[in-house]
Amino acid sequence: MSSTRDIDSLIEMMAKLPGLGPRSARRAVLHLIRKRELKLMPLADLMQNVAATARECTRCGNVGSAEVCDICLAPKRANGMLCVVEDVADLWAMERAGVFKGRYHVLGGNLSALDQVGPEQLRIPHLIARIAEEQITEVILALGTTVDGQTTAHYIADQIENTVRLTSLAQGVPIGGELDYLDEGTITAALNARKEL
Amino acid sequence: MSSTRDIDSLIEMMAKLPGLGPRSARRAVLHLIRKRELKLMPLADLMQNVAATARECTRCGNVGSAEVCDICLAPKRANGMLCVVEDVADLWAMERAGVFKGRYHVLGGNLSALDQVGPEQLRIPHLIARIAEEQITEVILALGTTVDGQTTAHYIADQIENTVRLTSLAQGVPIGGELDYLDEGTITAALNARKEL
Ligand SMILES: [Zn+2]
Ligand SMILES: [Zn+2]
């Protein structure tokens, strides 16, 4: 490679990001260098800011720049509903649909015997605590329809049944699909047609 | 979106990079935030460094961190051969093949009547100057086989014929293809089988 070591390293790091590869990383870096002042500098500054401030919300697991995230802080969203998702990408997908007005609880994964992920590795004990603390009346399980997602949903249902109304996203979630891939309309339909567990 | 404004802006900027889109940008940014110390911080630092130092080589148009790039500075590469490419991605593709030992001249595009790109918009006058200054004996035109690439090759050939040996990459370059897509083996074969114009 003829480029200097920093440019090479930058391409190498970009190439390892999910969704990129060596070729798209090279094109992205060249594009950024060509538009150094307009694109590369602002992007570098933004990354520094996010690297300095990004953190997990201690309450729900969303990412933001404060100890408690904007959604958890908004009084309007304390409507007694809690939507349980696997990860932050799923929370973002729900927010893009714009139809859910309550709060979230990000598990940080699914239960998995194979990967040795038990309830303690996820935010499940914390979920149970929140239900009491925040006067939750309905928990919506918005988990994937994969085997691990369904195992996780059943485990949570066993823990909290009879304490709250317990629902799951119903219509529209394709078998084996992941929430983050769904369009807004499908998510809206699934939420509106949610059913009792 | 529930994330803070900086995270949103970062996703938006990443989504505009060639080869990415909103979904892959979201996944990349979440991945980076999850590995804040291991990935996001080093990547942000690297971008700052490249943003501060990256520049075009004044001699050949390659990108690097000095006024004249490593290839132009290497005495070994002053072998009288000059390889003319459309852009830096093509230069990198040639270097990955590792078979060319001379120097490069990056045009910065192709002649195009449609886009009103004339010889003065490219590094063509500078190419003609370099041939005399650097005692060039052979110019290899490694331009794409698109209409604009071939127009550019013919224009350059008209300008410099009878002053140097003039060749072009021959075997292996697919019609309508771009150099940057080719594997190392194809580039090596094309260079070895180069033919007189
Ligand atoms: Zn939160
Ligand atoms: Zn150079």
Instruction: Give, for all 197 residues of chain A, the pLDDT tens digit.
Output: 334 789 999 999 999 998 889 989 999 999 999 999 999 999 999 999 999 999 999 999 999 888 999 999 999 999 999 999 999 998 998 888 888 999 999 999 898 888 888 888 899 999 999 999 999 999 999 887 778 888 999 999 999 888 899 988 765 566 566 667 777 776 776 777 676 66
Is the ipTM higher than 0.85? The answer is no
Instruction: Give yes or no for a contact between A63 and A56, defined as CB atoms under 8 angstroms apart.
Output: yes
Q: Token match 């052979």: residue?
A: B138
Do β-strands A55-56 and A63-64 pair in parallel, antiparallel, or remain unpaired? Answer: antiparallel
* pLDDT, tens only, B67-107: 999 999 999 999 999 999 999 998 998 888 888 999 999 99
Which one of B6, B45, B50 has the shortest CB-CB distance to A40? B50
Please give the pLDDT value at position B97.
82
Please give the pLDDT value at position B170.
66
Q: Which ligand has its closest atom nearest to the C-alpha of B123?
A: 2
A162 touches B: beta carbon within 8 Å: no
Main-chain phi, psi angles of B154, to 5 degrees: -65, -40
Q: Per the CB < 8 Å rule, is A6 touching B89? A: no
Q: Output the average pLDDT for chain B.
A: 87
Rounded to the nearest angstrom, the gap between the alpha carbon of residue B92 and the centroid of all alpha carbons in its chain is 6
Query: Among B2, B32, B35, B87, which would you mutate to test the A interface (most chain A Cβ atoms within 10 Å of its Cβ)?
Result: B2
All structural domains of chain B, each given as residue ranges with its CATH number in brackets, are: 5-53 (1.10.8.420), 74-168 (3.40.1360.10)
B18 chain-A contacts, CB cut-off 8 A: 24, 27-28, 31
DSSP class per residue in A127-138: HHHHHHHTT--E
B44 chain-A contacts, CB cut-off 8 A: 44, 47-48, 50-51
H helices within chain B, ranges in order? 5-15, 22-34, 41-53, 70-73, 88-97, 124-133, 147-160, 184-192
- Cα of B133 to nearest chain A Cα, Å: 22
Residue count (chain B): 197
B150: tokens are 């071939």
Instruction: Give yes or no for a contact between A164 and A138, defined as CB atoms under 8 angstroms apart.
Output: yes
Please give the pLDDT value at position A81.
93
A24 touches B: beta carbon within 8 Å: yes
pLDDT tier, B3 (very low <50, low <70, confident <90, very high otherwise):
very low
Instruction: Give yes or no for a contact between B157 and B166, defined as CB atoms under 8 angstroms apart.
Output: yes
B30: tokens are 């979440």
Higher pLDDT, A180 or B43: B43
Q: Which ligand has its closest atom nearest to the C-alpha of B70?
A: 2
**Cα gap A187→A183, rounded to integer Å:** 7
Using CA of residue A82, residue A84, residue A89, residue A93, what is the dihedral sign? Answer: negative
A83 touches B: beta carbon within 8 Å: no
**Cα gap A90→A15, rounded to integer Å:** 24
Q: In what order do the strands lie in the sheet with A195-196?
A: A103-106, A81-85, A138-141, A165-168, A195-196
* pLDDT, tens only, B12-39: 999 999 888 998 999 999 999 999 999 9
Q: How far apart are the first and last CA of chain B?
A: 58
Please give the pLDDT value at position B2.
37
**Cα gap A45→A53, rounded to integer Å:** 12
Please give the pLDDT value at position A14.
95
Q: Per the CB < 8 Å rule, is A1 touching B31? A: no
